[in-house]
């Protein structure tokens, strides 16, 4: 009898938990778009924060800003040291596309370097704080070699491949001169793309950009002197300027893009995972290897 009552109790608790999760999911789904529903005409705000690994959500937000007729101009707040090349280029293309139909004003936070600067280049205007770290126009690849360590412990590695370059960058053998030359060609090509993008976006001669495109960083004050940014100012200054460029009278209202809508099952799973994690004290350590970034 005790076991039966325990099972009944567990079932009731689990049912209440599911009901609670469903309610949380519904409320989240309804309130997620609140910023877009209540806002009148104003300035859109899109944020790029942290390492750039996947640009799809940022691109979605920029697309929403482009479609929304109430958004008269957009502020792109960038606080990123860069990241992976491909996603940075995709966001760059989305910013460039948006700037063709609406004014885009970039506001740089503490750092907007490398890929963070790359995606800022096509904006209508760029604001930076005097102490913002920006620039770092360059590309890199990182490799590790543990061949010596393996020799010490008596381990050997064997590779079967279809071409001489297929295992380039392998950590278990030394890279030869031909492989280095091949990778340098890839780096030089990508670097050239970066230089041309900055020259086009900032309306500067390619030769002038190439002179400073050696990976060095600049303060916002230095970047202004080099014409990499247009003005020194805060996020509020950028918002005010976007409002002026968008023809808005008075202080512009900020319009944030709607949060990505999720399926009910996703909300249930996330809610359950969060609560189970709190109960069990679960943790997660995630590391990513960036083979080519800026």
Q: Same domain, yes or no, for 236 and 132?
A: yes
**Contact yes or no for 88/118 (Cβ under 8 A):** yes
Q: Same domain, yes or no, for 251 and 105?
A: yes
Q: Cβ neighbours of residue 265 under 8 Å, at least 6 residues apart?
A: none
Instruction: Determine what percent of the chain is predicted with pLDDT higher than 90.
Output: 63
For residue 281, pLDDT over 70 is answered with no
Q: Same domain, yes or no, for 248 and 225?
A: yes
Q: Same domain, yes or no, for 257 and 232?
A: yes
pLDDT band, residue 213 (cuts 50/70/90): very high
Range of the domain at 73: 40-136+216-261
Q: Structure pTM?
A: 0.76
Whether 166 is catalytic? yes
Q: State the CB neighbour count (10 A cutoff) for residue 278.
A: 9
Q: Same domain, yes or no, for 116 and 249?
A: yes
For residue 204, pLDDT over 70 is answered with yes
Q: In this structure, what CATH number is given to the domain that contains residue 84?
A: 3.90.226.10
Whether 152 is catalytic? no
Q: Which of 88, 107, 114, 124 is catalytic?
A: 114
Task: Compare 239 and 287 and report the one with higher pLDDT.
Answer: 239
For the segment 118-122, the average pLDDT, to the nearest whole number, is 97
Q: Same domain, yes or no, for 132 and 278?
A: no
CA angle in degrees (0–180, nearest 5) for 56-61-64: 125
**Contact yes or no for 126/120 (Cβ under 8 A):** yes
Q: Which of 161, 166, 227, 260 is catalytic?
A: 166
Rounded to whole angstroms, how far apart are CA atoms 24 and 30?
10
Q: What is the per-residue pLDDT across 133-176, written as a single tens digit (0 to 9) for each?
A: 999 999 988 888 898 988 888 888 888 989 999 989 899 898 99
Average pLDDT, the chain: 83
* Tally of domains within the chain: 3
Q: Same domain, yes or no, for 291 and 150?
A: no
Q: Same domain, yes or no, for 127 and 235?
A: yes
pLDDT of residue 198: 97
């Amino acid at each position: 009898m005790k076991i039966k009552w325990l099972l009944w109790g567990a079932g009731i608790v689990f049912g209440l938990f599911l009901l609670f999760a469903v309610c949380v999911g519904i409320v989240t789904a309804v309130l997620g778009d609140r910023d877009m529903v209540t806002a009148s005409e104003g300035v859109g705000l899109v944020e790029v924060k942290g390492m750039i690994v996947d640009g799809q959500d940022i691109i979605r937000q920029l697309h929403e800003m482009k479609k929304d007729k109430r958004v008269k101009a957009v502020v792109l707040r960038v606080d990123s040291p860069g990241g992976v090349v491909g996603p940075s280029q995709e966001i760059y293309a989305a910013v460039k596309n948006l700037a063709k139909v609406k004014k885009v004003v970039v506001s740089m936070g503490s750092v907007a370097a490398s890929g963070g600067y790359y995606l800022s280049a096509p904006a209508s205007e760029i604001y930076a704080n005097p102490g913002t770290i920006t620039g770092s126009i360059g590309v890199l690849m990182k490799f590790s070699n543990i061949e010596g360590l393996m020799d010490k412990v008596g381990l050997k590695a064997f590779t079967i491949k279809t071409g001489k370059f297929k295992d380039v960058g392998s950590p278990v053998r030394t890279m030869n001169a031909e492989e280095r030359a091949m990778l340098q060609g890839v780096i030089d090509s990508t670097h050239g793309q970066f230089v041309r993008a900055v020259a086009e976006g900032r309306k500067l001669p390619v030769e002038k950009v190439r002179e400073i495109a050696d990976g060095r960083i600049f303060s916002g004050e230095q970047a202004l002197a080099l014409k990499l940014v247009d003005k020194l100012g805060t996020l509020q200054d950028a918002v005010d300027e976007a409002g002026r460029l968008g023809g808005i009278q008075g202080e512009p209202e900020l319009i944030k893009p709607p949060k990505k809508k999720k399926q009910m099952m996703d909300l249930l799973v996330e809610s359950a995972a969060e609560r189970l994690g709190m109960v069990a004290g679960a943790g997660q350590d995630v590391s990513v290897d960036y083979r080519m970034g800026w």
